């Protein structure tokens, strides 16, 4: 269900950004506004980002093979990291560069009414896309989490990337409006390119946040705190378990997690009893947390010594 929700968010964002980019380019070329051109580039970059996310989602669904025994789930994290680089290099870099060029050779924007109309239409499209991504983000988060908590802890980057892009787009529209309005009202040609530079810095900030979060997932971040608590409860609550010596997790993809645990089992216990207890715990974990499909449970030192002595006897 969350996969369908992610795709819906991306398709809505693509439709909105394509429409927005077209009207912004028309307005930018008509009015010679640097801020409007920066926003047109911004919308173009966002459209490319959504296609990268779709490609990442498709790649991550490929089944495991001999070369990738744990599957291809991290492919989505790789493409999400490309999105962050794309936003930083093309979105932020080009917007800031155009702003600097127009500061060096300033020109007052013409026919600013076009800009106001386009920015209003753009904000309406962006807000619609933002609402869709925000609703999906709220469905993903725990009751005691904020939206920002979900962004920094989520294991599926597709929705929070679109949400951050749409949030940056709405802020960018406001900055572009101020740049055009102040430049036109005060007959000052520097406000418009200054707004373009600010939009570039905004995109760079979003890119750095996305790069940090997706990079952490790519190199092997733990699964969610709520899932870890549930796994710990399941293991510790088994009648054969004395205590958990170590519990490690890693997110292998948006819908796949790996768990390794070293468990101190209650003694005395034979080898067959130990194997039966481990299988029972694994089955219960998979029942309550279907995302956790790779589980390794190792007996602790006392249980290992006891079973070796039992085999020797």
Q: Which pLDDT value is given to residue 6? A: 77
229 and 211 in one domain? no
110 and 24 in one domain? yes
Cα separation, 264 vs 306, in Å, equals: 11
Among 295, 281, 209, 212, CA closest to 252: 295
230 and 201 in one domain? no
Q: Please, which pLDDT band fits residue 252 given cuts at 50, 70 and 90?
A: very high
pLDDT digits 0-9 by tens, 86-129: 888 778 888 888 889 888 887 766 677 888 888 898 889 889 88
201 and 257 in one domain? no
Q: What is the CATH number of the domain that holds 290?
A: 3.30.70.1350
Give kind and range of the element (H or E) at residue 273.
helix 271-288
207 and 100 in one domain? yes
Structure token pair of residue 142: 């725990």
> Which pTM does this prediction carry?
0.79
* Total residues found in the chain within this entry: 313
pLDDT digits 0-9 by tens, 199-247: 889 988 988 888 888 999 999 899 988 899 999 999 999 999 999 999 9
Cα separation, 19 vs 125, in Å, equals: 8
Contacts of 260 (CB under 8 A, 6+ apart): 246, 247, 248, 249, 295, 296, 297, 298
Q: Return the residue matching tokens 């795709």.
A: 7
pLDDT digits 0-9 by tens, 122-142: 889 889 889 988 888 887 766
Whole domain around residue 193: which residue ranges? 2-219
Boundary of a domain, candidates 178, 197, 219? 219
201 and 100 in one domain? yes
Q: How many domains does the chain have?
A: 2
118 and 97 in one domain? yes
Q: Which pLDDT value is given to residue 135? A: 86
Q: What is the CATH number of the domain that holds 193?
A: 1.20.1510.10
């Amino acid at each position: 269900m969350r996969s369908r929700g992610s795709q819906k968010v991306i398709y809505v964002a693509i439709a909105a950004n394509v429409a927005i980019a077209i009207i912004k380019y028309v307005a930018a070329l008509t009015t010679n506004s640097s801020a409007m051109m920066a926003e047109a580039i911004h919308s173009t970059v966002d459209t490319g980002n959504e296609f990268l996310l779709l490609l990442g989602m498709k790649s991550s669904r490929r089944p495991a093979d001999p070369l990738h025994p744990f599957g291809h789930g991290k492919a989505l994290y790789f493409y999400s990291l490309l999105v962050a680089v794309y936003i930083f290099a093309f979105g932020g870099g080009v917007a800031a560069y155009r702003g600097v060029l127009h500061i060096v050779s300033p020109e007052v924007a013409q026919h600013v009414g076009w800009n106001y109309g386009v920015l209003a239409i753009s904000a309406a499209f962006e807000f619609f896309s933002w609402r869709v991504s925000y609703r999906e983000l709220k469905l993903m988060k725990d009751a005691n989490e904020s939206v920002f908590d979900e962004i920094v802890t989520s294991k599926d980057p597709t929705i929070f990337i679109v949400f951050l892009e749409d949030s940056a787009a709405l802020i960018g529209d406001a900055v572009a409006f101020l740049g055009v309005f102040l430049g036109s009202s005060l007959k000052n040609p520097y406000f418009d390119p200054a707004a373009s530079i600010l939009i570039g810095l905004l995109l760079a900030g979003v890119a750095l946040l996305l790069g940090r979060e997706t990079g952490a997932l790519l190199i092997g971040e733990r699964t969610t705190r709520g899932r870890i608590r549930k796994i710990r409860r399941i293991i510790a609550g088994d009648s054969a378990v004395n205590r958990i010596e170590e519990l490690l997790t890693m997110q292998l993809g948006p819908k796949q997690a790996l768990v390794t645990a070293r468990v101190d089992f209650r003694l005395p216990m034979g080898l067959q009893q130990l194997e039966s207890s481990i299988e029972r715990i694994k089955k219960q974990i998979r029942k309550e947390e279907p995302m956790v499909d790779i589980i390794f449970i190792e007996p602790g030192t006392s249980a290992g010594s006891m079973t070796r002595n039992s085999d020797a006897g």
